[in-house]
């Protein structure tokens, strides 16, 4: 589905710091091997309910400028020199569903995608799974990229979580800001690799519900910003 409407191009002076940070995040995703070429996308919530700033469709990070980032409103209307990412609905709906989401990253990271293509969620093979809000990282059901069905499937898998895999597709994570979301995405890909490698040895020994409940309780304060 294409964005609902097109507004006049955004002025590059709109949210300059967020534009630079968003483009920097896309470069960092490439450096961390989360994305290659035009795959993947990222966004950041704008203040005062002004929608989101999202990476453009079909442009590799190395060919983007800060002014290429698109402003997308809640109704799907957008401003910018290039169309927003085809996954704009997924990002928009995550912001709508989760007040704590300040930034969203979607990637076709190698190990996350390998598991997603087997339609495997990640069980509690390691206690750091709790970093993502529960005792598992689910895999959302398959739906065509850029569709409302994909967004609906992801939201269902994200209940009580800040990350999930997307069947035959990749991963999506959200964090309180771009730096937090990037750190979570890198950590999720690391866990996906560890789980993939564990499966090469045999069936992993999983942590129990009681053991994961204790870890999840500890993670209520782990990594939280100081107030």
Known catalytic residues? 87
CA distance 130 to 74: 31
Phi, psi of 179, rounded to the nearest 5 degrees: -65, -40
Element (H, E) at 21: helix 16-31
Give the full edge-to-edge strand order of the sheet including 103-107.
78-79, 70-72, 52-54, 41-45, 103-107, 170-175, 163-166, 139-140
Question: Any idea which residue has 């495997």 for tokens?
Answer: 120
Give the C-alpha distances (Å, rounded to integers) separating 21 from 18, 36, 178, 191: 5, 19, 8, 26
Q: How many helices (H) and strands (E) does the chain have?
A: 6, 8
For the beta carbon of residue 81, count every other beta carbon within 10 angstroms: 13
């Amino acid at each position: 589905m294409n964005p609902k409407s097109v507004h006049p191009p955004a002025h590059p002076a709109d949210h300059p710091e967020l534009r630079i940070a968003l483009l920097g995040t896309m470069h960092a995703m490439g450096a961390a091997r989360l994305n290659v070429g035009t795959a993947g996308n990222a966004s950041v919530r704008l203040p005062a309910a002004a929608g989101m700033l999202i990476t453009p469709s079909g442009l590799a990070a190395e060919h983007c400028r800060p002014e290429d980032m698109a402003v997308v409103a809640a109704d799907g209307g957008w401003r910018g020199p290039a169309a927003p990412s085809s996954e704009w609905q997924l990002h928009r709906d995550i912001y709508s569903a989760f007040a704590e989401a300040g930034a969203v990253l979607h990637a076709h990271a190698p190990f996350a995608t390998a598991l997603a293509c087997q339609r495997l969620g990640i069980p509690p093979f390691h206690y750091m799974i709790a970093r993502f809000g529960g005792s598992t990282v689910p895999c959302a059901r398959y739906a065509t990229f850029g569709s409302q069905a994909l967004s609906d499937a992801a939201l269902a898998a994200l209940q009580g979580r800040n990350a999930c895999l997307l069947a035959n597709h990749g991963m999506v994570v959200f964090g309180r800001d771009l730096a937090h979301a990037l750190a979570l995405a890198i950590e999720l890909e690391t866990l996906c690799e560890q789980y993939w490698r564990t499966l090469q040895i045999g069936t992993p020994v999983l942590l129990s519900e009681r053991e994961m409940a204790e870890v999840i309780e500890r993670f209520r304060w782990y990594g939280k910003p100081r107030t």
